[in-house]
């Protein structure tokens, strides 16, 4: 029973962290129409940033600044913001397909730099020497993990509330207008480039926070955690959940993470031994099939975007879809 509970807490923690990253992507794609194909890079920037700033000094790579945990996490988010700002300045003038290719390239480059720049990231061995906050007092068992789950769940809730407010604010209205027609927005005196960059950086900061929380949970990060498959997983979660709908993004994260772990478990139990070495590849095929299937048969996702009516400078209210 304790084993099952421990597993459920583990599952829920990872799903919650991924849901935060999906919310970041939803702001970029669902609300603003920015095709970020490099989610793993911003997630990774937060993860590496948090551990470098918050870890204990280690020989052989940068960091071990032993900063207090909240500052380390904020620092990781700032690293993601800086990366997003630089990437955004260079690439946001590109339209959907080219932006996707460019940002995908950034993510591949990020992974390769983390794999090879040992002085910075510890290389393929990854970053160690990070002690999870409050672990000394609470221990590393189920109680700690449950507490950590509560912590990440509260951050997920705060992120959700922040984004819901943002989407129904005048700024959210501007995001939707720019997603629909940049030229018309420009003719009304709006600067789409600035607004797109703001949304891109904000979404990436949220992904960076997810990365920081993920690395904190494992007290470790390596290039294996920022492989391109992470980007596809996050995208699959958003497509399944419903782009443009924050609740859909969260539910999509839980559903797809459940499908991913269940398929891994089923393959390890029931697939022939000779097929098990391909289990990872089969999971990739599963993710690809889900994305293609959803785009073909239910492109709006399980929870489609709701019409949100923003009010002028004051209170906001969601309206039922028409």
In the complex with other proteins, the residue whose CB is nearer, 139 or 170, is 170
CB 52 within 8 A of CB 73: no
CB 213 within 8 A of CB 101: no
Which of 3, 59, 183, 297 is in the footprint of other proteins by CB under 8 A? 183
How far apart are CB 318 and other proteins at their closest, in Å?
13
Say whether 320 sits in a helix, a strand or coil: coil
Identify the CA nearest to 32 among candidates 106, 105, 97, 92.
Answer: 92
In the complex with other proteins, the residue whose CB is nearer, 19 or 185, is 185
In the complex with other proteins, the residue whose CB is nearer, 63 or 192, is 192
By the rule CB under 8 A, 309 interacts with other proteins:
yes
Question: Which residues in 118-177 contact other proteins (CB under 8 A)?
Answer: 170, 173-174, 176-177
In the complex with other proteins, the residue whose CB is nearer, 157 or 184, is 184
CB 318 within 8 A of CB 308: yes
Residue range at the interface with other proteins (CB under 8 A); choices 36-44, 183-191, 217-225, 227-235:
183-191
In the complex with other proteins, the residue whose CB is nearer, 128 or 173, is 173
Residue with tokens 């891994």: 264
CB 48 within 8 A of CB 267: no
Tokens encoding 84: 């997003």
CB 56 within 8 A of CB 120: no
By the rule CB under 8 A, 317 interacts with other proteins:
no
Residue range at the interface with other proteins (CB under 8 A); choices 198-206, 257-265, 268-276, 307-315:
307-315
Evaluated on CA atoms 284, 95, 192, 88, the torsion sign reads: positive
How far apart are CB 203 and other proteins at their closest, in Å?
20
CB 160 within 8 A of CB 23: yes
In the complex with other proteins, the residue whose CB is nearer, 191 or 289, is 191
Query: What is the DSSP secondary structure assignment for residue 117, as one 8-state letter?
Result: -
Helix axes of 39-54 and 228-241: crossing angle, nearest 10 degrees: 120
Which whole-number Å values give the CA distances from 305 to 28, 162, 171, in the listed order?
A: 14, 17, 17
Phi-psi region of 319 (alpha: psi -120 to 50; beta: other; left: phi over 0): beta
By the rule CB under 8 A, 181 interacts with other proteins:
yes
Helix axes of 39-54 and 2-25: crossing angle, nearest 10 degrees: 120
Residue range at the interface with other proteins (CB under 8 A); choices 18-26, 89-97, 133-141, 305-313:
305-313
Q: How far apart are CA 168 and CA 266, in angstroms?
A: 42
How far apart are CB 173 and other proteins at their closest, in Å?
5
In the complex with other proteins, the residue whose CB is nearer, 97 or 180, is 180
Count CA atoms within 13 Å of residue 286 on its CB side: 19
By the rule CB under 8 A, 180 interacts with other proteins:
yes
In the complex with other proteins, the residue whose CB is nearer, 20 or 174, is 174
Residue range at the interface with other proteins (CB under 8 A); choices 114-122, 150-158, 281-289, 310-318:
310-318
In the stretch 184-223, what mask flags binding to other proteins with x, by CB under 8 A? xxxxxxxxx-------------------------------
Residues lying near other proteins in the complex (CB under 8 A) are found at 170, 173-174, 176-177, 180-181, 183-192, 307, 309-310, 312-313, 322
């Amino acid at each position: 029973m304790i084993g099952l509970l421990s597993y459920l807490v583990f599952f829920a923690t990872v799903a919650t962290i991924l849901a935060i990253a999906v919310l970041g992507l939803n702001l970029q794609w669902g609300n603003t129409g920015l095709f970020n194909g490099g989610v793993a890079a911003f997630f990774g920037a937060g993860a590496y940033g948090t551990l470098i700033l918050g870890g204990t000094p280690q020989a052989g790579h940068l960091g071990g600044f032993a900063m207090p945990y909240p500052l380390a996490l904020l620092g990781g988010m700032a690293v993601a913001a800086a990366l997003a700002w630089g990437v955004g300045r260079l690439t946001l003038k590109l339209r959907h397909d080219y932006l996707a290719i460019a940002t995908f390239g950034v993510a591949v480059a990020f992974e390769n730099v983390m794999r090879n720049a040992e002085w910075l990231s510890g290389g393929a061995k990854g970053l160690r020497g990070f002690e999870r906050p409050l672990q000394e007092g609470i221990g590393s068992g189920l109680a700690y993990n449950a507490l950590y789950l509560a912590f990440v769940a509260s951050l997920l809730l705060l992120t959700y509330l922040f984004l819901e407010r943002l989407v129904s604010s005048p700024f959210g209205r501007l995001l939707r207008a720019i997603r629909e027609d940049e030229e018309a927005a420009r003719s009304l005196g709006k600067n789409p480039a600035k607004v797109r960059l703001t949304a891109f950086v904000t979404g990436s900061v949220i992904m960076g926070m997810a990365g920081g929380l993920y690395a904190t949970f494992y007290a470790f990060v390596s290039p294996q955690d920022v492989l391109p498959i992470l980007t596809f997983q996050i995208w699959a979660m958003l497509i399944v959940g419903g782009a443009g709908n924050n609740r859909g993004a969260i539910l999509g994260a839980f559903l797809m993470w459940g499908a991913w772990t269940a398929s891994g478990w089923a393959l390890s139990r029931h697939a022939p031994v000779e097929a098990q070495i391909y289990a990872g590849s089969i999971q990739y095929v599963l993710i690809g099939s889900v994305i293609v299937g959803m785009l073909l048969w239910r492109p709006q996702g399980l929870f489609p975007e709701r019409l949100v009516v923003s009010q002028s400078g004051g209170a906001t209210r969601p309206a039922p879809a028409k």
